[in-house]
Amino acid sequence: MSQNIDLKAIEKKVFTSFHQDGLIDLFLGFIMFVSILSSTLDASGVSDSVRIAIYVPLMVVLGPVLYMLGKRYITFPRMGYVKLGSKQNRTRRIVIFSIITAVLLTLVILTIILGNKAGKAGSVFGVTAEFWSSAVVTLIIIGIFSIIAFVLMTPRFYLLGLIVGISEPLYMLLKHFTHVKYIGVIAYGVPAVLLLILGTVVLKRFVNKYPLPKPGEDFSLEGVGNGSN
């Protein structure tokens, strides 16, 4: 019994540590900087087709490739390949994942309905359709990161969701209450800098905590706790 409990504790610790390398923070910071570029090009009058031609390859190709290279050369050599084996843990996460998803969808649908009403009536509760659309994006971002935080057992992802999610409301506020031309530099720049700082700190801590194994050592953690239950 004690061995089973120990295996579950080790399994949770290993899986959580695997996502404490700071790479996702840096990846999101990169995405925010790409958003700055896209917003700046838009404010400069660059056509949508040109912006898309620049934005999509950076967002969809370069960003994920850099992230996977980081995993390949930084995380995997230190942690191995992590695979959870507890059926109870998987079942529990699936159930709560479903609940969070249902709540998120309800909030999004409600916000969309209010946004549509605002579009027809000019505003709902004094809020324009544009702000309601921004609210939808923010809810989706925070909701997705909340689900990821729970599934990966990594509370830091709640913070990541808030940092990324704040960019849209910040953009709307700057757009309506300031006369700054390149508002994307501020709206996306603030989250970008926060993410890069956070990612750098977490990555540095990860590298110091998990040094590369010496030649001949095998730190592969695949299947830790597998079959325990």
Q: Dihedral of the CA atoms 15, 148, 154, 156 (nearest 10)?
A: 150
Quote the CA–CA distance of 11 and 113 in Å, as a whole number.
43
Backbone angles phi, psi at 42, to 5 degrees: -65, -45
Q: Mean pLDDT score of the chain, rounded to an integer?
A: 76
Quote the CA–CA distance of 165 and 146 in Å, as a whole number.
11
Quote the CA–CA distance of 226 and 72 in Å, as a whole number.
23
The answer, yes or no, to whether residue 171 has pLDDT greater than 50, is yes
Quote the CA–CA distance of 184 and 46 in Å, as a whole number.
15
CA distances, 47 to each of 53, 101, 180, 185 (Å): 10, 36, 20, 19
Quote the CA–CA distance of 32 and 190 in Å, as a whole number.
9
- Which span out of 43-52, 156-165, 173-182 was modeled with the highest average pLDDT? 156-165
pLDDT in tens, 98-144: 556 655 565 555 555 555 555 555 555 555 666 767 777 788 888 88
